[in-house]
Amino acid sequence: MDPRVRRVVTGHDDEGKSIVVSDGFATSVKTVEFWPGLVSTDIWKSTGSPVVLRKDEPDPTLGPRTLHQPQGTIMRISIVPPETDAIRNLDPQQAREVFRGVGNAAASTMAHGSRHPLMHRTETLDYAVVLEGEITLVLDESEVNLRQGDVVIQRGTNHAWSNRSGKPARMLYILMDGRFDTVLSAALGVTHPA
């Protein structure tokens, strides 16, 4: 499976006419030491809402890798390799290192006895689309098998992506910054700065 993603970015010329600003492979490509075969490509990021559209804008994906963009969005395409014993046998520290590699070690919720070593939670609303292949969404007490074309609306839940198909899966993620309401924050033990 070719991990390269062609990205066409549009913009405006000096007269306000629409133009192609860039057309080429997305450059923000990440691999993770403890998750061999994972290739994650940031396509675009935004900050604020509504998004301020400018004539000239630098590539917003060139900064540090994160699992959420405060008050913004991240569009990412990942190739998730088939799960191996190395993934299934991660200890909690190694699981945190996987998430450090994708931008947020604190997202890992793995503890001894967790349903899956890559369980994690972010305070985001995520749209996840299976572009190619098959993958299993693992939740605290259930699992959902997903195939090409299936869409998950992931609402800040503790979860993991487990590829048990024997073939790589290509996933599209759109991650939007969110905030747990006070009732859910209390239930999850999440505190927000004052």
pLDDT digit of tens for each residue in the chain (194 aa)?
899 999 999 999 999 999 999 999 999 999 888 888 999 999 999 998 888 888 888 899 998 888 878 889 999 999 999 999 989 999 999 999 888 888 888 899 998 778 999 999 999 999 999 999 999 999 999 999 999 999 999 999 999 999 999 999 999 999 999 999 988 988 888 887 65
Using DSSP's 3-state secondary structure scheme, residue 35 falls into: strand
Q: Which domains does the chain have, with CATH numbers?
A: 29-51+58-188 (2.60.120.10)
- Tell me the whole-structure pTM to 2 decimals: 0.91
Return d(Cα 43, Cα 8) in angstroms, integer.
Answer: 10
The tokens describing 115, both together, are: 């349903």
Q: Is the peptide bond before 193 cis (omega within 30 degrees of 0)?
A: no
Sheet holding 143-147, edge to edge: 143-147, 134-138, 160-162
B/e letters for 115-132, b = 16+ CB within 10 Å, e = fewer, are bbbbbbbbbbbbebbbeb
